[in-house]
């Protein structure tokens, strides 16, 4: 899953793709490098970020989704917690919804996902993006996240979303310390064992920088290590900034595992 942030303030590439033409060019580049899915968002969810009004999110993302859809048939995911934004994105050509609030932020999102029968990503987050990194604490981070995702998946099913359309995301970096992130990645099979496809988004995140003393634009190697390990432990989707290198790393790792 290639990341396309159409925002001025995302933690890694904020402002790079605010221009619709540049955003479409970047989408085409990721597709050429082997992206299976594109995840398009118009609201930064970096630690400390503030909400963006739905109308502004739609203004940012709808033209880009429409332009990409005109020449590509692959899945386009909209990264939003707002049903109005998701509806506009689906109308523009998106086909997945990526809700980091796990259907808690907007009560109409569950209904929309069920009615449209779209794949739905539900993620664990402690608090909100503005507050999530203020001393996050858990009894057992893996057990707590696992139980939360199980409950939210059951809620999605009870709201009409088919089980096969639900994808779980443990929310690496969303209300977690470095140790929490490492535990979730190391014990990822406990999330996989819930029986849903699992998505991992660790690309360029701050815990990599803390572990490797690396600035945000120098975290490729650490991001690749996370992606390879996540897939080895059962993740079916990795959400990444660097599609080409990740494709190469995963292909080599798969070839080694096959011998």
> Quick check: 36 and 79 in contact, CB under 8 A?
no
Q: Residue 161 and residue 181: Cα distance in Å, rounded?
A: 28
What's 240's DSSP letter?
A: B
> Quick check: 25 and 69 in contact, CB under 8 A?
no
In the chain, the N- to C-terminal Cα span, in Å, equals 27
Does the active-site annotation cover 205? yes
Pairing of strands 166-169, 96-99: unpaired
Give the chain's radius of gyration (CA, Å).
17
Catalytic residue among 82, 187, 205, 219: 205
- Which residue, among 28, 132, 130, has the nearest Cα to 76 in the 3D structure? 28
Active centre residues (catalytic): 205, 239
């Amino acid at each position: 899953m290639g990341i396309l942030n159409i925002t001025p303030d995302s933690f890694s590439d904020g402002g790079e793709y605010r221009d619709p033409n540049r955003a479409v060019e970047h989408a085409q580049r990721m597709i050429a490098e082997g992206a299976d899915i594109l995840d398009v968002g118009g609201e930064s969810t970096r630690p400390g970020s503030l909400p963006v009004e739905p109308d502004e999110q739609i203004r940012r993302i709808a033209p880009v989704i429409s332009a990409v859809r005109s020449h590509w048939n692959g899945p386009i995911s909209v990264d939003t917690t707002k049903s109005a934004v998701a509806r506009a994105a689906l109308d523009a050509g998106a086909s997945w919804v990526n809700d980091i609030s796990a259907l808690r932020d907007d009560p109409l999102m569950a209904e929309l996902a069920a009615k449209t029968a779209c794949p739905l990503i539900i993620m664990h987050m402690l608090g909100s993006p503005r507050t999530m990194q203020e001393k996050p604490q858990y009894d057992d981070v893996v057990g707590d996240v696992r139980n939360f995702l199980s409950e939210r998946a059951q809620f999605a099913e009870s709201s009409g979303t088919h089980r096969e359309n639900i994808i779980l995301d443990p929310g690496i970096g969303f209300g977690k310390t470095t140790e929490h992130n490492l535990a979730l990645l190391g014990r990822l099979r406990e999330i996989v064992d819930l029986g849903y496809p699992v998505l991992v988004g660790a690309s360029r995140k701050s815990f990599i920088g803390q572990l490797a003393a690396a600035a945000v634009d120098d975290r490729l190697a650490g991001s690749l290590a996370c992606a390879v390990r996540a897939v080895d432990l059962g993740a079916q989707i990795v959400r990444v900034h660097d599609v080409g290198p990740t494709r190469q790393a995963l292909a080599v790792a798969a070839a080694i595992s096959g011998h």
